[in-house]
Amino acid sequence: MNPIGKYMGFAAAWMALGTSLPAQAALEDDGRSLEASPDATVVTADKLTFDYIKQFALFEGNVVVNDPRLQLSANRLTIIFTEDGGAQTIKAEGKVRLTQGDKKARSEVATYDVPSGRIVLAGGPPQMMQGRNILEGEVITFWRDEQRLECKPRARLVVYTEDYGDADSFFKP
């Protein structure tokens, strides 16, 4: 798989996170403690504000999302819900860090529009890294369902060919 395809898989996994928020956990029989199951998404923060009427959840301070597919940390995470309780928009702000295996991304803001499958990394400038390979620009946008990305302006991709075989194979479909 070429490096850009690997970045798309990373973005798709992050975007899939939106379907499992808010956090799910299993209560122990005695009901006194929470124990996360291996397939649960757990969100921790210094503060949670949930407004059922306005349909949003706001996690503030030392936000950490542990999901079986990836980990996210940020200063703030806002989830806007649809009428039926699903996630409409997820926005992480302030020192956003995403990790999935050997893939990492960072930015100041990451916004995921769940219905369109679009995620936008901005500020910092945003970077995506896999091993020594780096993709950066002022804004990196992914479309999950279309498996494409756009990085602009001043897009820069650094690829170490030894990580992906010979340079000619990178340019072949």
Between residues 41 and 106, which one has the greater pLDDT?
106
Phi, psi of 59 (to 5 degrees): -100, 130
Domain ranges of the chain: 3-22+39-170
Question: What dotted CATH number matches 3-22+39-170?
Answer: 2.60.450.10
Q: What is the pLDDT of residues 118-148, one digit of tens each?
A: 889 999 899 999 888 999 999 999 887 787 8
Give the gyration radius of the chain's Cα atoms: 17
**Span of 7-21, 49-63, 138-152 with lowest mean pLDDT:** 7-21
What is the pLDDT, as a whole number, of residue 173? 44
d(CA 83, CA 34) in angstroms, rounded, equals 28
What is the pLDDT, as a whole number, of residue 63? 97
In the predicted model, what is the mean pLDDT of residues 25-37?
46
The predicted model scores a pTM of 0.74
What is the pLDDT, as a whole number, of residue 8? 42
